[in-house]
């Protein structure tokens, strides 16, 4: 993935801190602020939390970063991809992306509510295969 181009396309200056934030997001997929900070602190000991917040916000504004709100948990961030849904393991907290066919669901909604739809946020919770087995 070309992080430099990603930043440039959004008219952001390419700083080492920014490159590393994007790289962490890309590598880990779903991360919260604290864990971005921890990981970055290793490479940039002088790094400020304020810098992370500023960058997260600017990237959100430019829409190439999305915040995922999860019931009863902290928000995590991910690089914006095509629309997809999430499943969270209630035990080990792993979050995975899933591509669902939402046509049938959207038809139901439009029929029942007469809304016109654009975004959706679909988060399921349950047990991942590993944790399912551990529990037996």
d(CA 68, CA 78): 8
Identify which of 45, 129, 44, 125 has the alpha carbon closest to the alpha carbon of residue 85: 125
CB 116 within 8 A of CB 77: no
118 binds, options a second copy, DNA, none, Cβ within 5 to 8 A by partner type: a second copy
Q: Which helix H or strand E contains 89, and what residues bound it?
A: strand 85-89
Please select the residue that binds DNA; options are 24, 31, 47, 59, rule is CB under 7 A.
47
Residues of this chain, 116-135, that bind a second copy according to CB under 8 A: 116-129, 132
Please select the residue that binds a second copy; options are 5, 27, 43, 69, rule is CB under 8 A.
69
Identify the burial level of 22 via C-beta atoms within 10 angstroms of its C-beta, where 0-12 means exposed, 13-18 middle and 19 or more buried: buried
Residue 64 DSSP code:
S
Residue 135 engages DNA in binding (rule: CB under 7 A) = no
Q: Which positions from 71 to 110 touch DNA by CB under 7 A, shown as an x/- string?
A: ----x-----------------------------------
Please select the residue that binds a second copy; options are 16, 67, 83, 84, rule is CB under 8 A.
67
Residues at the interface with a second copy (CB under 8 A): 67, 69-72, 85, 87, 89-90, 96, 98-102, 104-106, 108-109, 112-129, 132
């Amino acid at each position: 993935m070309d992080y430099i181009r990603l930043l440039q396309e959004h008219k952001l200056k390419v700083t080492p801190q920014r490159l590393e934030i994007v790289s962490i997001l890309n590598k880990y997929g779903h991360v919260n602020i604290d864990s971005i900070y921890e990981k970055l602190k290793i490479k940039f000991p002088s790094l400020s939390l304020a810098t992370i917040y500023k960058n997260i916000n600017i990237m959100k504004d430019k829409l190439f970063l999305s915040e995922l709100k999860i019931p009863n948990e902290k928000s995590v961030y991910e690089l914006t991809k095509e629309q997809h849904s999430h499943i969270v393991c209630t035990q080990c907290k792993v979050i995975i992306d899933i591509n669902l066919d939402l046509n049938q669901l959207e038809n139901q909604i439009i029929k029942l509510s007469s809304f016109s739809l654009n975004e959706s946020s679909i988060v399921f919770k349950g047990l991942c295969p590993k944790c399912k087995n551990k529990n037996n």
